[in-house]
A and B are shown apart, each in its own frame.
Chain A
C-alpha cells in the first residue's frame, strides 16, 4: 500500500488505524498457525467507515480483509496479499432482541457466546455453537457459515439468518433478506453472502432468527472399543428416531489429550467415545436419554455415563471444546480437515481413515460432530520431516476424494480459505468454479475483498 492510501485511511480512522509493525504482527495470524503481514489494521465502529474504506480501496487498489476474532481454521481472515485488515471487534453491540418476533439484530463483532447468553436471559435460543463460541464473532460465523455441535438437530449459522446489511466490493451498501419468517422476493442474496468468506461483501449488521430455549437437557458419555462401533451407534440412534442436539465423537488419542483437564477416568480398551446430548421438555429428555443409553449399549458401548447436573454437563462440554487445541500434544503441526459424509456412510469413512493412517504411517486424530456426519480429521505431523509432510499431503487428497465419492463435502464448517482452495474443483467441478468466479466479479469487480481466498489461481487486486 502506498503512503497516500495510508494517509487517506488515517482520515477515516485517525488513531483507530494501526500501522506499527507490532500491531500488524498481531493481525497477521489466525488459528491455522500461518502468518501474513498486513500493511495496516483498522478498527471501524460504523458501517459507514467500512463503506468509505472499500471506496478508498477501489480508488487506491489495495486489498481489504475483514476479520472477526481470527479463530478460523481455513485462513479466511489472513491478509495473504497484504492490504488492510478490517477488524470488526469494536462493532460489538446487540442492537435489539425482539421477543415477539423472535429476532435479534446485531453488529458483526458480537461474540457468539455473548449473544447466546443475552437471548437465553429472555428464554430464547440462538443455536449455532462452534467450538470457539466463547471468543469467535457473529461476523466471522456468518462469513464462514460456522457450524458446531448442535448442527445435527438445529442446523448451522445460515439457518438462523434472516437478513443482512453489507458493503459490497464496489463500496455499495446493500440490505438483503427480511425481518420475517418467510420471504421469497428475488434472489436470496442473504444466503449468497453467508459463507462467502468476506470475498463478496463485508457484513455490517445481521438480523438473526431465534427459537425458544429448550427447557432442559441431558448429556451422556458413551465409551466404545472402536470408531466403527461408535459410528454405527450414531446411525442407529437416528434410525431409532431420536435426534440428539449433539453427538460428538472422540477417538482414543483425542480422549487421551484432554482427559487430564476433566479428570476423566476411561474404561480399559476404549478406542472411541461419543458425547451425546438430548434436549427438550424435561419429561421427554429423560425418556430420550434412556433410549440413547439403550441404543449405545446395543451397538457395543462398554460404559455409558450421564452427567448429574449442569456443572457436570459443562465439564463434559469443556472437555470436548478443548480437544482441538490440546491435540498439539501429539505432534506440533496440525493439518486440520473437516469433511462431512452422509451419516450412514460414517462407518465406511472411519474404516478408511484407520486403514489410511496405518498405510501412510501417520498419526491421525479424529473427532467431531458425528451426528451430522462431520469429522474433524487432524493429521498430526512433526513439521520437521519432509517425507512425512508429503505423505500427509497425499493422505489429505485421498481423504477428500473418498469424501466426495461417498457423497460428502470437503468442508462442513471451516470454509475453503487458502487451506482447501486447491481442492475446490474436485467437489464443485469446473463449471461450479466458473459460475462462482462470475458471481465474485459481479460483487467485487476489482477483487478488493479478501483476495487470494477460495479460488486457487486468481489475479491480484486488479490494477
Chain B
C-alpha cells in the first residue's frame, strides 16, 4: 500500500466519534466498523501490517455508501471519501478486483460503442427475465428473486440511447457542452433530451459530448484506479480538444468526478494535469447553468392550479453535500414550478444507493432508500425531483417497492416541460 499518502490522510483522525452521528449506515449496522473512525483504524492496521487479511479489510471498506456526511461533519476535516477510495484502490492493487468489475470498468465503460452494445443486450435480457409493472415514473420491470436480484425493479431500457437518437449533424458544435452521463444517455434518455433541449432555450449553441467515456466514478469507488484513470484521461483529452466554454452536467456524481476526484487521479506532475485543470474549471452543474444562462427568465409563470408543495427536492450527497450545490436546484424549481415546490421531509438524507453498494448489499440499500422515500411521501411529497443518476435509479426502485404513485424525476424534465408550455 502507498503508505505515505494514506498515513497523511488518516493521521488527521483523532477518533472523537463525531462520524457516528451522521453516518447513513450506522443506524443499520450499529457497530463501529460501519463508521469512518472504524474504517480509518482498520486501514491503519492494514498499512502497519497488524491486519494482513486484506480481503476482510476490503470487505469492511466496501460497506460504505461514500455519502460523505462524516467528512462534512468532521471537526478535523478528515478527507474520508478520499481515504476510503484510496484504501480500496491500494488494497485492490494487492488483491485485485472481481472479474465482472474488471470487464465492466476496464472495457465497457471507457468505450461509447461497447456501452451501446451492452445496453441493447441488457434491454433484451430485461424483457425476457423480468415482469412489467407500471409506476408513476413510467414502466418498470421487476426482476424475480432467483437471479440474485432480490426483486429489484429497473426502468424499461430504451432501444436507443439519447446520443444515438441525435441526428448526424445535430448538437455537434456549441459554446456549451452537455456531458450527459451513461445513465441519462442509456437508461433515462428522456433526461438527456430534456437537459439538452432546456439548455438550448438559453439561446446558446449547445453541443453534446458524443464520444464521452464513463465519468469513471463507478471504477474509482470500486478501487479500480486504472480503469478510472483511463476514463478520465480519455475525457480530459477529448474535452480539451473540443474547447467548449462551459461543460454542463445533469448528474451530480459525474460532476464530482470532474470537480474533485479528477485531481486524485491526475495530480500535479501528471502530464495531463494542466489539461485537467482547464477542463475542471469549465465544469458546472445543470441547475447552475440554467440560472446563469438566463433560461429561468424564459420560463412561463407557473400555473396557479397545481397542488402546492407536492414537488420536493432530494439532495444528492455528492452534488449538495460534497460540492455544496443545493441551493441552485431549489432556485430552479421555485422558478419552474412555483408554489408546487416545497422542502420535503428528509431532503438531505442519503438515498442509500452508493453505486456498487446497492449491488453488494441490496437489502440494506433498499431499507435506507425505502425510509427515504416513505418519509417524503408521508410528508405530502408526490414528486421527488433531483439531479443525480444514481439517486434517480435508486428512488424509482424504492418508489416502485413502496408507493408506485410517487414519481421521481430529474429537474431538467420539469424545466423542459415548463418551457414547452410557452
Spell out A's residues near B (CB within 8 Å). Answer: 18, 20-23, 25-31, 33, 35, 43, 69-71, 87, 89-90, 111, 132, 134-136, 258, 261, 321-322, 324-326, 328-329, 332, 334
Contact = CB atoms under 8 A, between A and B. Distances in A.
B20 A22 contact: no
Contacts of B51: 21-22, 25
Interface of B: 11-12, 14-18, 20-21, 30-33, 37-38, 41-42, 45, 50-51, 53, 56-57, 59-60, 74-76
A25 B76 contact: no
A28 B50 CA distance: 13
B71 to A, nearest CB: 14
Contacts of B50: 25
Nearest to A260: B77
A14 to B, nearest CB: 15
A35 B14 contact: no
Contacts of B14: 31, 33, 325, 328, 334
Contacts of B75: 258, 261, 321-322, 324-326
Nearest to B32: A26
Contacts of A111: 21
Contacts of A326: 75-76
Contact of A136 (B17, B32, B42): B17
B53 A132 contact: no
A267 B75 CA distance: 23
Given A31-B14, A325-B76, 18 more contacts: A22-B42, A22-B56, A22-B57, A26-B31, A26-B33, A27-B32, A29-B15, A31-B16, A69-B17, A71-B16, A71-B17, A90-B30, A111-B21, A135-B18, A261-B75, A324-B75, A328-B12, A328-B76
A320 to B, nearest CB: 11
B18 A30 contact: no
A38 to B, nearest CB: 12
Contacts of A23: 31, 33
Contacts of B41: 25-26, 28-29, 35
Nearest to B60: A22
Given A325-B75, A325-B76, A22 B53 contact: yes
A128 to B, nearest CB: 17
A110 to B, nearest CB: 13
Nearest to B76: A325
B42 A26 contact: yes
Contacts of A325: 14, 16, 18, 74-76
Which residue, B14, B21, B32, has most C-beta atoms of chain A within 10 A? B32
Which residue, A25, A136, A326, A328, has most C-beta atoms of chain B within 10 A? A25
Contact of A134 (B11, B21, B31, B33): B21
Contacts of A71: 16-17
14 contacts: A20-B56, A21-B56, A22-B57, A25-B38, A25-B51, A26-B32, A27-B32, A29-B41, A31-B17, A33-B14, A33-B15, A132-B17, A261-B75, A328-B76
A329 to B, nearest CB: 8
Contacts of A29: 15, 37, 41
A18 B31 contact: yes
Contacts of B18: 134-135, 325
B16 A324 contact: yes
Nearest to A89: B30
Given A25-B42, A261-B75, A326-B75, A70 B60 contact: no
Given A26-B41, A35-B41, A135 B32 contact: no
A25 B33 CA distance: 9
B229 to A, nearest CB: 29
B248 to A, nearest CB: 30
